[in-house]
Amino acid sequence: MPRRGPSELKSVDGSPKKAPVSNPRATILVVDDEPAVVRVLMTRLELAGYRVLSAEDGEKAIEVFHNESPDLVVLDVMLPKLDGFAVCRRLRAESCVPIIFLTALEAISERVAGLDLGADDYLSKPFSPKELETRIATILRRMGPGVAVAEPRELPVGQGVLRLGDLVVDTNRRQVSRAGDRIGLTYTEFSLLELLFREPGRVVPRAEILEQLWGYPPRRAADLRVVDVYVARLRGKLEPDPRNPELILTVRGIGYASQRMGEFPTAIAS
């Protein structure tokens, strides 16, 4: 499939889209079938210095993603042709690109379903564009400049390789493996793992995890479910028996703690 240049992209009114500003900080793909929402978000995000693309349905979103390789996707749940959940599932099968869901669904179970598929965050409609800008900036800042969406950056190996039994956590390359087999983690999943193991044994409150990784304090109980879902996802990928976790422990009513390093045969590799 040929790759379209920026000059060939169309704005929300169908007119040719202006070429992006030089040296944009990142490319954002906004996927929503409401033209008014797309128009507002494109204007706000472009003023913030981002290069912004748009798609009005799920199939178009997949096409634009493959052609343009955006750094982050803002994805509505209720879309024509392919809904947001299906799009997220397709993107997660091939990429760790950050995804923020926009949803008008009130049920917590529906929001959790999106996080289970691999989304990094969600905002409920109606929402503040300023809050979305803040969450985008938080995620991209955590990823660092110039990252590729498909794979973590390859950095020189140095200090920061932790061995937890047969589990190896390489904080330089942001990679995890067990017995030599790579375990695929998204940026948010790895950031959560790194936060919990930064101070082994310390109980990290859920509210603190939310603020450090997602950049906002909990305003309602449902916000903390983001943390719970991500911990469950990490356990599913890292724990031999996720129902009886050994690496990431729950401290009921407070938060989570990593197992103390001294309880594993650990080493820092150079």
Does the predicted model carry a pTM greater than 0.75? no
> What tens digit of pLDDT does each residue of 208-264 get?
999 888 878 887 777 788 899 889 989 999 988 888 998 899 999 899 998 764 333
User: What is the per-residue pLDDT for 260?
Assistant: 60
User: What is the per-residue pLDDT for 120?
Assistant: 86
**Could you tell me which residue, 45 or 116, shows the higher pLDDT?**
45
Average pLDDT over residues 65-77: 94
Average pLDDT over residues 94-118: 78
User: What is the per-residue pLDDT for 171?
Assistant: 80
For the chain, give the DSSP string: -PPPPGGG-B-TTSSBPPPPPSS-S-EEEEE-S-HHHHHHHHHHHHHTT-EEEEESSHHHHHHHHHHH--SEEEEESS-SSS-HHHHHHHHHTT----EEEEE----HHHHHHHHHTT-SEEEESS--HHHHHHHHHHHHHHH-TT--SSS-------S-EEEETTEEEETTTTEEEETTEEE---HHHHHHHHHHHHSTT--EEHHHHHHHHHSS--SSHHHHHHHHHHHHHHHHHH-SSTTS-SSEEEETTTEEEEPPGGGS---EE-
User: What is the per-residue pLDDT for 267?
Assistant: 34
**Could you tell me which residue, 115 or 137, shows the higher pLDDT?**
137
CATH tag, 6-143:
3.40.50.2300
Q: Kindly list the domain boundaries of the chain, sorted by start residue.
A: 6-143, 161-269
Fold held by 161-269: Arc Repressor Mutant, subunit A (1.10.10)
User: What is the per-residue pLDDT for 181?
Assistant: 87
